[in-house]
Amino acid sequence: MIRLVRSSTLREMNAQTVEMHNRASHEYGRAETLVVDVANVQALLEEERTAACDMGENLLRSQDLVETLEKALAAARDDLARAQGELSILRSQQLLDTEDRAALRALLRIARRQQARPDRVHVLYRYGRLHSVHSTRDEAEIAAEEEGADRAGWTSPSATDVAPNPNEIAWRIQPMALGSVK
């Protein structure tokens, strides 16, 4: 079958073909531009995805760091509470030690005073009459010697000696316990 096409129709067809070709070229250029744009968007998307992954990793590291710091803070708070407890115990212990030291000093002063007190005195008699009272035997002898007693005349009576009457002895020293009555 042969068809006859008129020249005007042929021209129209040629014009349509050219127009279609131009449109196809235009669309092809547009498609190439879109392909380039899609490639650029994909590259940007990959960069954003990489940045998001980096940010995610940074976020995870930051969360780990925060967790570690929170644990360290909790441990530091525990240490601080423990140290404050120990400090309060040490302060109370120091107060007790201070009170104990003060009490010990007071007891020591009392003990020294009691030790400083003689447990006896030495009474000096002259012919049986009380002459003076002295804290030591030496002091009593010195007092008697100042009154004229013989320096070599001091002797201690033995158990076998018969004791003379106290009124007959010129100077006599008798130790007497404090707090006793004789």
Sign of the C-alpha dihedral computed for residues 49, 53, 58 and 64 taken in this order: positive
Q: Taking 70 as the threshold, does the pLDDT of residue 116 lie above it?
A: no
Averaged pLDDT for residues 113-132: 81
**CA distances, 118 to each of 109, 110, 175 (Å):** 16, 14, 11
Percent of the chain with pLDDT over 70: 87
44-66 pLDDT per residue, tens: 999 999 999 999 999 999 999 99
Other beta carbons within 10 angstroms of residue 120's beta carbon come to 14
62-97 pLDDT per residue, tens: 999 999 999 999 999 999 999 999 998 888 888 778
What integer pLDDT is reported at residue 3 of this predicted model? 66
Strand ranges of the sheet holding 129-134, from the earlier edge strand across to the other edge: 129-134, 120-126, 171-177
pTM of the model: 0.36
Question: From CA 139, how far away is CA 151, in angstroms rounded?
Answer: 13
